[in-house]
Amino acid sequence: MAKSIFDILTVQFLKNTTIAGVDLTLDDGSPFPDDIFEKSIEQAVAMVELDLGIMISPFSIKGERHDVDLKDRHSHYLMSLDLKPLKSVDKISIRVGNTDKAELPVDYATIGSHLHSKINLIPTSATAGSLRFVSGVPFLVGDVFSPYSTFPLYFSIDYTAGFTFEEGTATIPDGESEVTINLTNTFNTTVYPQFTITPVANGGAGLRMIGSSSTSITVSARTPPSGGDLVFEYSVNNLDPMILRACQLIASYLPLNIAGDLIAGAGIAQQHVGIDGLSQTISTTSSATNAGYGARLRAYERELKNIMSILRGKYRQMSIYSR
């Protein structure tokens, strides 16, 4: 079941997909060490995260600082947080230099875009008439207490970024064909379900999601359970499939390059054997500058270039208000 991308993009998943059909053994016949695949997956995830400015697995950021300008009040202090996508704002404080923080109600944070981590600070109705705190630090700058129009690093934000993963167990009662699962997490983008049926004795063939909201999914079985309840495990996430594919392609490069070198031996393009008038010649696509699986690698590189172009357009946006 998936609690992070590393539960989806596993060593076995990689072997079954982008490097399927490749001889993954060393010259002595032993299999490639799992370290090759595991490190390739870790590196691929890190590369995509840095390129897009995102966190894939949930990550909590503490005390991210943002500037404030008096004119920002016209946009209700619009801020673009550093990491995307935004799961939740956990704490808001104001801080002048390195002084102690004056905490603001977290309800002030109005999320304009989870995908691009954009928030506005809008006082709630309960506190709209009072914007100062007992600490004496004003929420707004430029008044009698603070004759400045700008403050660097004024706001301090704690938040959680990353995609959402959830797993659990649900039951379709005997004689019924579907169940609605109330999720613990709130999913702010499309959810992608995975199901593991346990047990399979009571039917339940073809479990599929037939409806979803930000807080629930409805699961249906093409073959309703008979002779007992159908209990199944489920895993849902809102991980962008194109992000998964990008990580998958990048993670396949190292194993393919190593396997390509070992087809006939590192850098060997042709082998010729002759005995008593009989001869055999084996040619490969390997050379001193070309990998044995060069054609597959080039196809993956072209696909990755297209995918990353789409993802950059989706996740990277110029922030006019970037404080």
SS (H, E, C) 268-297: CCEEEEEECCEEEEEECCCCCCCCCCHHHH
Those residues with Cβ within 8 angstroms of residue 282's Cβ, 6 or more apart along the chain or in another chain: 264, 270, 271, 272
Position 132 scores a pLDDT of 46
Region 196-215: mean pLDDT is 75
CATH says 164-238 is which class? mainly beta
CA dist 191 and 209 (Å) reads 10
More confident residue, 283 or 183: 183
More confident residue, 126 or 105: 105
Answer for the pair 177, 221: CB distance below 8 angstroms, yes or no: yes
Answer for the pair 73, 106: CB distance below 8 angstroms, yes or no: no
Amino acid occupying residue 164: T
Amino acid occupying residue 86: L
Position 138 scores a pLDDT of 47
Task: Give the predicted TM-score (pTM) of the model.
Answer: 0.80
Position 7 scores a pLDDT of 93
CA dist 319 and 113 (Å) reads 12
Amino acid occupying residue 247: C
Position 270 scores a pLDDT of 54
Closest of 284, 246, 252 to residue 268, by C-alpha = 284
Question: 97 in the Ramachandran plot: left (φ > 0), alpha (ψ -120 to 50) or beta?
Answer: left
Closest of 64, 104, 108 to residue 83, by C-alpha = 64
Answer for the pair 122, 46: CB distance below 8 angstroms, yes or no: no
Position 28 scores a pLDDT of 81
Whether the predicted pLDDT of 128 surpasses 60: no
Report the mean per-residue pLDDT for the chain: 82
Answer for the pair 284, 268: CB distance below 8 angstroms, yes or no: yes
Percent of the chain whose pLDDT exceeds 90? 47
Position 127 scores a pLDDT of 52
Position 237 scores a pLDDT of 92
Region 111-140: mean pLDDT is 67
pLDDT band at 102 (very low <50, low <70, confident <90, very high): confident
CA dist 228 and 65 (Å) reads 56
pLDDT band at 201 (very low <50, low <70, confident <90, very high): low
Q: What is the pLDDT of residues 221-249, one digit of tens each?
A: 887 777 788 888 999 999 999 999 999 99
pLDDT band at 135 (very low <50, low <70, confident <90, very high): very low
Whether the predicted pLDDT of 205 surpasses 80: no
Structure tokens at 195: 């199901």
Amino acid occupying residue 222: R
- Asked if the bond preceding 85 is cis, omega within 30° of 0, the reply is yes
Whether the predicted pLDDT of 68 surpasses 80: yes
Region 98-117: mean pLDDT is 87
Closest of 91, 68, 201, 203 to residue 142, by C-alpha = 68
DSSP 211: E
Q: What is the pLDDT of residues 269-320, one digit of tens each?
A: 555 455 655 655 455 555 544 566 888 999 999 999 999 999 999 998 755 5
Position 96 scores a pLDDT of 78
Position 247 scores a pLDDT of 97
Q: What is the pLDDT of residues 23-61, one digit of tens each?
A: 888 878 899 999 999 999 999 999 999 999 999 999 999
pLDDT band at 188 (very low <50, low <70, confident <90, very high): confident
Answer for the pair 261, 36: CB distance below 8 angstroms, yes or no: no
Whether the predicted pLDDT of 139 surpasses 80: no
Beta-bridged to residue 69, according to DSSP, are: 150
Structure tokens at 231: 């209990």
Whether the predicted pLDDT of 184 surpasses 50: yes
More confident residue, 69 or 262: 69
Q: How far is CA 55 from the centre of its chain?
A: 6
Domain spans in the chain, listed from the N-terminal domain onward? 1-57+239-317, 59-161, 164-238
Total residue count of the chain as it appears in this document:
323
pLDDT band at 10 (very low <50, low <70, confident <90, very high): very high
